[in-house]
Amino acid sequence: MEERSGVAEARANIALTKYWGNADADLRIPANDSISLTLDRTRTVTTVSFRPDLERDEVEVDGHPLSGSARERVVRHLDLFRRLAGTPWRARMVSRNNFPTGAGIASSASGFAALTVASAAALGLDLSGRDLSRLARQGSGSAARSLFGGFVCLHSGVSDEEAFAESLYAPDWWEICDLVVLLSQAEKRVSSSAGHRLAETSPLHRARVAYVADLNRRLLAALAERDFVALGEVAERDALLMHAVMMTSSPALLYWLPETVAMMRRVYRWREEGLPVYFTIDAGPNVHVLTLPEYVGRLLADLQADPAVHEVLVCRPGAGARVVGGSVGGSVDGQWFR
């Protein structure tokens, strides 16, 4: 049976300055630039097989077939690649995550990044990393950042061509650590995509978008100088700003649990004890604890003794998306298909 297949892996990322709200909802052009860290321990592997005998797209994530709007979102993404390749073939997509899906750990970012790279590989499309990031962005805005390893910037822009991601620093630039504290593995009730649409209803949204430009300048300086305190202050402040927008949207979004607030207070206590520790939180209840490698052991011991903590993923800067099988090989961090 004729088949064109590709297998790719990608990793989730944690936004240090956040993407929340769109300038163009249809194309998922973000309202502001965002800067992220790709996480080595959060891995998605996706296989895409385009076949002439399939009557409809088949979509499976973590052993479960997708239906409804979740399936249609993947189908629309596959349609982008069918148009580029000029093929009518339907596809079977199978994706696996090694971390909880839909719990605020950017599973859609790694998922659509892996889907983008696998689809391009399967259909033999010779695309630049920038173009792939633009395609990934249309599936999930944060997916554009997961195309690249290390520290990454997603530009907002005023058009599809300008809203792309690019690498700022490779993973080995700076070994900061992200302790991903899993307080809940339940899928959140309101998806990030739905939340983005509500951002404009908050009276704080436009003020935050304007202010993030200054935070990004400070974060870029912190990265260049490897200034952890400056990085942590920016990351923590914008996490709080983003959640303030969520909480003042109409209807209000409250992703936090009591355990989330308790963990934030614990980070404050650690800092009072002189430890370099900051938090950031995406659209979910789980907390990312940012620190330096030499403090991981102390923090991990405290976290693992807490009955509210289900699991802690100790992450460092990770690699970008890459092809791991199928009809074509290559990587985004290197030369794509060359």
> What does the alpha-carbon distance between residue 338 and residue 321 come to, in Å, rounded to a whole number?
16
Query: Which residues fall within 8 angstroms of residue 122, CB to CB, at 6 or more apart?
Result: 4, 5, 6, 48, 49, 50, 91, 326, 327, 328
- pLDDT for the residue numbered 104: 59
Q: For position 198, what pLDDT does the model report?
A: 96
Q: Which fold has domain 1-328?
A: Ribosomal Protein S5; domain 2 (3.30.230)
Look up the pTM and report it: 0.93
With contact defined as beta carbons under 8 Å apart, do 332 and 117 qualify?
Answer: yes
Count of other CB atoms within 10 angstroms of residue 233 = 16
pLDDT tens for the chain, residues 1 to 338: 689 999 999 999 999 999 999 999 999 999 999 999 999 999 999 999 999 999 999 999 999 999 999 999 999 999 999 999 999 999 999 999 988 766 556 689 999 999 999 999 999 999 999 999 999 999 999 999 999 999 999 999 889 999 999 999 999 999 999 999 999 988 878 888 889 999 999 999 999 999 999 999 999 999 999 999 999 999 999 999 999 999 999 999 999 999 999 999 999 999 999 999 999 999 999 999 999 999 999 999 999 999 999 999 999 999 999 999 865 444 444 333 22
Number of C-beta neighbours around residue 152 at 10 A: 25
- Looking at residue 331, what is its pLDDT? 46
Number of residues assigned to the chain: 338
